[in-house]
């Protein structure tokens, strides 16, 4: 194997370091979200185009973070920019704070694209979408505990910020995991009402659900854990049947996977209809959005005509608890929905989605071949247009399997890749966009080879 550009210069990111030091004085940790931080300091970005992103020092990277997968068309896609500009000029405002036709258009698009969705409500983030889905399930069932799977992330709020990445000594039995808080400030009673299940183990999951069926309002899961570990098909079908039998609402968190594995949700691939689905990321075309869709009988609980408005001044709100309250000043934001609809219109072309998945397969196969050449056990695991690099000889089916991977070596390689112009947060998954070219893929594989050789001290 010939190494073609082993003398490539290393990026200088002193400008990012200076900006980080200044940011720490006015922003806790120097970042506006904990996920944006990585040691020794995060890279501060300045501009982007297509599949590339440029930092404040002028270094240009091939971007595989893509705002954690939201930018499926890449940065600054002309159709998205055009749709936002046209919407603003036609309407004369960025937001109405009142119903408008784009809400109806997007809702109809989601009902058409995802068979399990009969009605839709919009939120401002995927976090808000999962939060609303859980509230709907609790109201519908009259129960208040929820069950989530070990290693699954559904947002940074109390009910689900539990056992996302617990230490194994705290995690408890593989068959009956403990509920381990992932943050300070979460009340014990909330932790006690969040029941942890083992992903891809239907027998152990069934045991727990049957034992606590009288408490559990909903089971929420990422059908593809962290966007790259797929659920076993038998596990998924059995879980759907089991939750129906036990009267438990099944919630799919498709914030990461929606419109990234196929047009619609990954549930379309599995052929399963959850009761509720949470969406986000791709749906906003690069703007903040979330949505909850699902069965009419569950969704209709939010119909404000059933009860009273909690903001009614001076009485007349006696029936406010007859409905599930849901609101948000920016819900259904017209500018965001315009960007989202433009994105979906591009993805509707089967050739576009097929090419995106083909490009993802190409880079996965190329990287696997490269790592195997250097005798590094590696699997490029994922579905559709998302994958992750896992340095392990073991099968990867859940969070505990990931603990067996060589994350120390992976992180060292990732740190070198940042210096070589391949951008993703160390240890994070790779998301591809329609903007990634054959040249991007070729250069990425070359950069991986340089990084491997540096880390292994191969001259």
pLDDT tens profile 389-433: 999 999 999 999 999 999 999 999 999 999 999 999 999 999 999
Torsion of CA 302, 108, 231, 130, to 10 degrees: -30
Residue 180 to residue 166: CA distance in whole angstroms? 6
pLDDT at 125: 97
Residue 425 forms part of a structural domain: yes
Helix (H, G, I), strand (E, B) or coil at 265: coil
- Yes or no: say if 178 and 166 are a contact pair by the CB < 8 Å rule: yes
Whether residues 64 and 89 share a domain: the answer is no
Number of other CB atoms surrounding residue 269 within 10 Å: 18
Whether residues 332 and 447 share a domain: the answer is no
DSSP state of 36: G
Give residue 397's domain range. 48-76+350-455
pLDDT at 232: 97
CATH assignment of the domain containing 410: 3.90.1150.10
pLDDT band at 5 (very low <50, low <70, confident <90, very high): very low
Residue 204 forms part of a structural domain: yes
Number of other CB atoms surrounding residue 111 within 10 Å: 15
Whether residues 71 and 153 share a domain: the answer is no
Residue 25 to residue 304: CA distance in whole angstroms? 45
pLDDT band at 300 (very low <50, low <70, confident <90, very high): very high
Whether residues 114 and 212 share a domain: the answer is yes
Q: Active-site positions?
A: 153, 253, 281
The residue-averaged pLDDT of 1-9 equals 46
Last residue of a domain, one of 347, 367, 385: 347
Residue 196 forms part of a structural domain: yes
Last residue of a domain, one of 297, 315, 347: 347
Whether residues 294 and 358 share a domain: the answer is no
Residue 189 forms part of a structural domain: yes
pLDDT at 7: 47
The residues, any chain, with a CB within 8 Å of residue 87's CB and separated by 6 or more, are: 102, 334, 335, 338
> Any idea what the Cα angle at residue 52 is, between residues 47 and 53, rounded to 5°?
30
Residue 447 forms part of a structural domain: yes
Mean pLDDT of the chain: 95
pLDDT at 287: 97
Whether residues 325 and 438 share a domain: the answer is no
Residue 20 forms part of a structural domain: no
- Yes or no: say if 290 and 278 are a contact pair by the CB < 8 Å rule: yes
pLDDT band at 15 (very low <50, low <70, confident <90, very high): very high
pTM, entire model: 0.95
Token pair for residue 261?
A: 């594995």
Question: Got the DSSP string for 19-57?
Answer: HHHHHTTTSGGGSSSGGG--SS-PPPEEEEEBTEEEETT
Whether residues 139 and 226 share a domain: the answer is yes
pLDDT at 10: 77
Residue 3 to residue 450: CA distance in whole angstroms? 8
Token pair for residue 280?
A: 């986000």
Residue 401 forms part of a structural domain: yes
Token pair for residue 127?
A: 């976090």
Whether residues 363 and 415 share a domain: the answer is yes
Residue 43 forms part of a structural domain: no
DSSP state of 429: P
Whether residues 322 and 413 share a domain: the answer is no
Last residue of a domain, one of 325, 347, 369: 347
CA distances in angstroms from 444 to 12, 51, 266, 438, 448, listed in the order given: 19, 12, 27, 10, 6
Residue 218 to residue 212: CA distance in whole angstroms? 11
CATH assignment of the domain containing 236: 3.40.640.10
Pairing state between β 194-197 and 145-149 = parallel
Whether residues 370 and 422 share a domain: the answer is yes
Residue 277 to residue 255: CA distance in whole angstroms? 9
Q: How many CA atoms lie within 13 A of 313 on its CB side?
A: 0
Whether residues 307 and 357 share a domain: the answer is no
Task: Kindly report, residue by residue over 311-332, the tens digit of the pLDDT.
Answer: 766 555 555 678 999 999 999 9
The residue-averaged pLDDT of 99-122 equals 97
Whether residues 125 and 146 share a domain: the answer is yes
> Any idea what the Cα angle at residue 393 is, between residues 389 and 394, rounded to 5°?
95
Which is more confident, 332 or 1?
A: 332
Helix (H) or strand (E) holding 145: strand 145-149
Burial (CB count within 10 angstroms: exposed 0-12, middle 13-18, buried 19+), residue 51: buried
pLDDT at 313: 62
Token pair for residue 141?
A: 């069932």
- Yes or no: say if 26 and 406 are a contact pair by the CB < 8 Å rule: no
Number of domains within the chain: 2
């Amino acid at each position: 194997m010939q190494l073609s550009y082993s003398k490539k210069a290393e990026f200088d990111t002193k400008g990012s370091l200076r900006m980080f030091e200044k940011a720490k004085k006015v922003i806790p940790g120097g970042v506006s979200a904990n996920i944006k931080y990585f040691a020794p300091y995060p890279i501060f970005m300045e501009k982007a185009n297509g599949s590339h992103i440029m930092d404040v020092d002028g270094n240009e990277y091939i971007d595989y973070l893509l705002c954690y997968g939201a930018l499926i068309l890449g940065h600054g896609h002309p159709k998205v920019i055009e749709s936002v500009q046209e919407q603003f000029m036609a309407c004369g405002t960025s937001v109405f704070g009142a119903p408008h036709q784009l809400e109806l258009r997007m809702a109809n698009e989601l009902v058409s694209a995802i068979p399990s969705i009969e009605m839709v409500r919009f939120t401002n983030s995927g976090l808000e979408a999962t939060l609303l889905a859980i509230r709907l399930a609790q109201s519908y069932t009259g129960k208040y505990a929820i069950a989530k799977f070990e290693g699954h992330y559904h947002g940074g709020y109390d009910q689900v910020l539990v056992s996302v990445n617990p230490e194994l000594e705290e995690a408890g039995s593989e068959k009956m995991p403990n509920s381990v808080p992932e943050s300070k400030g979460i009340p014990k009673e909330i932790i006690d009402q969040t029941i942890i299940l083992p992903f891809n183990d239907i027998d152990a999951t069934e045991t727990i659900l049957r034992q606590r069926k009288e408490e559990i309002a909903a089971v929420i899961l990422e059908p593809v854990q962290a966007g790259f570990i797929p659920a076993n098909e038998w596990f998924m079908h059995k879980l759907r049947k089991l939750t129906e039998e036990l009267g438990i609402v099944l919630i799919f968190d498709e914030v990461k996977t929606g419109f990234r594995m196929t047009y619609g949700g990954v549930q379309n691939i599995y052929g399963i209809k959850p009761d509720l689905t949470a969406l986000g990321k791709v749906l906003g075309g690069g703007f903040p959005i979330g949505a909850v869709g699902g069965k009419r009988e569950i969704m209709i609980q939010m119909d404000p005509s059933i009860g009273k408005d909690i903001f009614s001044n001076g009485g007349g709100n006696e029936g406010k608890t007859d409905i599930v309250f849901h609101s948000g000043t920016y819900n259904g934001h017209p500018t965001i929905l315009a960007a989202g609809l433009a994105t979906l219109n591009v993805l509707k072309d089967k050739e576009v989605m097929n090419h995106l998945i083909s490009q993802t397969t190409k880079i996965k196969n190329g990287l696997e071949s490269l790592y195997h050449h250097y005798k590094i056990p590696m699997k490029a695991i994922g579905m559709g247009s998302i994958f992750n690099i896992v340095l392990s000889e073991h099968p990867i089916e859940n969070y505990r399997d990931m603990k067996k991977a060589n994350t120390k070596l992976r992180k060292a390689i990732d740190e070198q890749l940042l210096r070589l112009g391949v951008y993703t947060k160390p240890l994070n998954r790779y998301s591809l966009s329609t903007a990634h070219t054959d040249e991007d893929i070729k250069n990425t594989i070359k950069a991986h080879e340089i990084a491997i050789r540096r880390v292994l001290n191969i001259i």
